[in-house]
Copies of this chain bind each other. A is one copy, B any other.
Amino acid sequence: MPNNRRSAAGRRPRQPDSDARGQLLDAAIALFAERGIANTTVAQIAAAGHVTPAMVHYWFDNRERLLDAVVEERLAPRFRAVWEPADVEHGEPREVGQGIVHRMFDVTAQAPWLPSLWLREIVNEGGLLRERALRHIPVVKKVAGFGQNIARGKRRGEINKGIEPQLLFNSIVALVMLPQATAKIWRRINPTLTLDRATLERHVTVLLMHGIADGSAAAAGRQHGRSGSTS
């Protein structure tokens, strides 16, 4: 029997797959992202991880502990990877924003299951990871600090006056995560849609970086080349 039952808690996020427990956790997450937590049984998790249901119980005690492990060992490190590498409260606001976008794409490239799990189980009313995620992930303070930074940039004239600092992180999440979480339905609406990371990241970055830039330079440029359009 494995003797590392509890040793995983402090493990670095870079080595999560080095044992059978980690592989089982990943198998569970893949099922949760694909069909939802409520629609996934322990037997299915065991089958996907090539172990017996008893092993699932051995490693995770019960469903609640398994969900704790999903949040603490797989989601929290990804949230930290988005927020921690930069001083989101004091860095140059547009650079900080661009960094958050880029790291969010890094994280979803490493964890392709993240956008649908996020949509299904955190964002959705009744999502089974929402309370855990809010409890375990110190995102509230980071979001507030980022908003205050954007607000200061706005007062200094670096950020467009029409931008609402407290809504910007929400907009970033929407632009980065929703298309990835809903890729299947978008491909049905538009079969030729390209949703590779490079295309999506370029599009989102341009939209956000031009979108939040102070409009006065652009306005000056438009005045210069004004061609009779109103609105």
> Taking beta carbons and an 8 Å cutoff, which residues of A are in contact with B?
34-36, 39, 92, 94-95, 98, 116, 119-120, 122-126, 130, 134, 139-140, 143-144, 147, 160, 162-164, 166-168, 170-171, 173-175, 178-179, 181-182, 184-186, 188-190, 192-195, 199-200, 202-213, 215-222, 224-225, 229, 231
Q: Which residue of B lies closest to A225 (CB)?
A: B217
Given contacts A160-B206, A174-B179, A215-B210, contact A190 B140 (CB under 8 A): yes
Q: Report the nearest B residue to A193, measured CB to CB.
A: B166
- Would you call B123 and A182 a contact (CB within 8 A)? yes
Cross-chain contact A211 with B206 (CB below 8 angstroms): yes
Q: Which residues of B contact A224 (CB under 8 A)?
A: 217, 220
Known: A134-B188, A163-B206. 12 other contacts (CB 8 A): A39-B126, A95-B231, A98-B231, A134-B185, A134-B189, A160-B210, A164-B202, A164-B203, A166-B194, A167-B195, A207-B212, A210-B218
A219 CB to closest chain B CB, in angstroms?
8
Contact B116 A125 (CB under 8 A): yes
